[in-house]
Structure 1
Amino acid sequence: MRKLIMWNVVTLDGYFEGEKNWDLSFHELVWGKELEEFSLTQLKSADMLVFGAATYKGMADYWTKAEGDEGEIAKLMNEIQKIVCSSTLKTADWNNTIVAKDAVAEISKLKLQGNGDMFVFGSGNLSESLMKAKLFDEFRLCIAPVFLGDGRLLFNQGIPHKKLNLLEAHPLATGGIILRYAPKEESRQ
């Protein structure tokens, strides 16, 4: 069975995007050799990437044009199978992409069909839907050492209460920290 994993870089005050769409400048605070190696390890374990429509468009635009130092990451991002979850998109042009109209139903089925990891990058609205459906097997966050003060929060009100087990806390030389959590199993009474 595939694992569904959330991956996001967030500020200490919980923002995954600045005030404007695609304002990810705080990512530069944590980017370095360690995070690059972690990113490559994640991508090599992935057999599917999952995006909401807005994140998909931004990622496709960026990674299909990426050059220079991002060669290996760009190659993997462009090769791995992708799912864009959207009720409005008719087609998706980025390599190896299919469109899923009903994210919760489709992701539930896809989790049963393989053994690799499925990663959700960004995609705040999609992540919220998948959290409410209790589909995530793991949450991976890289905390950037900054208070942004405004922008788009990753975890909004309405996210169901869920206790988590810490799997790993890995400090980075840049001052960031990678945290890995898994949902605690709910005890049956």
Structure 2
Amino acid sequence: MRELIVTENITVDGVVEAAEWFDVANAAGVDQSDLIGTLHAHMADSDAVLFGRVSFEEMRGYWPKQTEDTSGVTEHLNKATKYVVSSTLQDPEWENTVVLRGPLVEEIRAVKDQPGKDIVSTGSIQLVRALIAADLVDEYRLFVYPVVLGTGRRLFENATEVPVLRLVETRPFNSGVVLLRYRKA
């Protein structure tokens, strides 16, 4: 069975909304080869991504247009199977995209039962919270940025269904970002 991995960029105080703080790791002169190497390893272990409709449309509007991307993200996203949970999206307009319209738990279990590598969900906070509540997440990869915002949507805000987690990896990067990997205990 494939695993569902939630990967989020998150601030020290738990905010996951993308904003200006995300650029802190891109400071001039900071060697990011360690972070990029980890992202490449994660991409190599996955062949599918899972989005909610809003995040999917944001990604679709940005990544396919990147012609000089040296990170490998554009190539990975274009090749990976993209699953988007939506009852309203008609034409995904991005190759290798499957729209999931049925009951969430049944759809995700069916995707996890297919042969393949890991399925990664990123962004898509409403969807991710539903995945957590349904106990469908196998691993959390939290890239913690050295920023405190005080306000904004949080990954585990008002969460009561989060399983007990165990830390399986802590990895600091040159940029000050730290990867925390958790699995269900």
Structure 2 residue runs without a partner (length 5+): 27-31
- CA separation in 1, counterparts of 2:52 and 2:162? 23
In the TM superposition, 1:42-81 aligns within 5 A as: 42-70=42-70, 72-81=72-81
Q: What is the Cα deviation at residue 118 of structure 1?
A: 0.2
Q: Given the alignment of the two structures, is residue 134 of structure 1 paired with residue 135 of structure 2, yes or no?
A: yes
- For the 8 Å contact 2:36–2:71, the answer to whether it is kept is no
Given residue 108 of structure 1, which amino acid in structure 2 is its aligned partner? R
Secondary structure of 1:77's counterpart equals helix
Q: What does the per-residue CA deviation read over 1:145-185, in whole Å, with 9 as the maximum and x for residues that have no partner?
A: 0101222222221341421111100011111100100011x
Q: What does the per-residue CA deviation read over 1:111-134, in whole Å, with 9 as the maximum and x for residues that have no partner?
A: 111241000011100001111110
Q: What is the Cα deviation at residue 71 of structure 1?
A: 5.5
Q: Given the alignment of the two structures, is residue 89 of structure 1 paired with residue 84 of structure 2, yes or no?
A: no
- For the 8 Å contact 1:3–1:115, the answer to whether it is kept is no
- For the 8 Å contact 1:128–1:159, the answer to whether it is kept is no
- CA separation in 1, counterparts of 2:158 and 2:117? 31
Secondary structure of 1:15's counterpart equals coil
Secondary structure of 2:16's counterpart equals strand
Residue 169 of structure 1 aligns with which residue? 170
User: What TM-score, normalized to structure 1?
Assistant: 0.89
- For the 8 Å contact 1:30–1:172, the answer to whether it is kept is no
- CA separation in 2, counterparts of 1:70 and 1:149? 33
- CA separation in 2, counterparts of 1:30 and 1:145? 9
Q: What is the Cα deviation at residue 58 of structure 1?
A: 0.5
User: What TM-score, normalized to structure 2?
Assistant: 0.91
Structure 1 residue runs without a partner (length 5+): 18-22, 185-189
Q: Given the alignment of the two structures, is residue 99 of structure 1 paired with residue 99 of structure 2, yes or no?
A: yes
Q: Given the alignment of the two structures, is residue 29 of structure 1 paired with residue 19 of structure 2, yes or no?
A: no
- For the 8 Å contact 2:82–2:96, the answer to whether it is kept is yes
- For the 8 Å contact 2:51–2:122, the answer to whether it is kept is yes
- In the superposition, relative to structure 1, how do residues 71 and 14 fare at CA in structure 2: closer, same or farther (>3 Å)? closer
- CA separation in 1, counterparts of 2:56 and 2:69? 22
The answer to which of 5-14 and 151-160 deviates more is 151-160
- For the 8 Å contact 1:43–1:77, the answer to whether it is kept is no
Q: What is the Cα deviation at residue 66 of structure 1?
A: 1.2
- For the 8 Å contact 1:104–1:129, the answer to whether it is kept is no
Given residue 168 of structure 1, which amino acid in structure 2 is its aligned partner? E
In the TM superposition, 1:102-121 aligns within 5 A as: 102-121=103-122
Residue 10 of structure 2 aligns with which residue? 10
- For the 8 Å contact 1:86–1:103, the answer to whether it is kept is no
Given residue 172 of structure 1, which amino acid in structure 2 is its aligned partner? F
- CA separation in 2, counterparts of 1:72 and 1:147? 29
- Paired-residue identity, %: 34
Root-mean-square deviation (Å): 1.5
Residue 159 of structure 2 aligns with which residue? 158
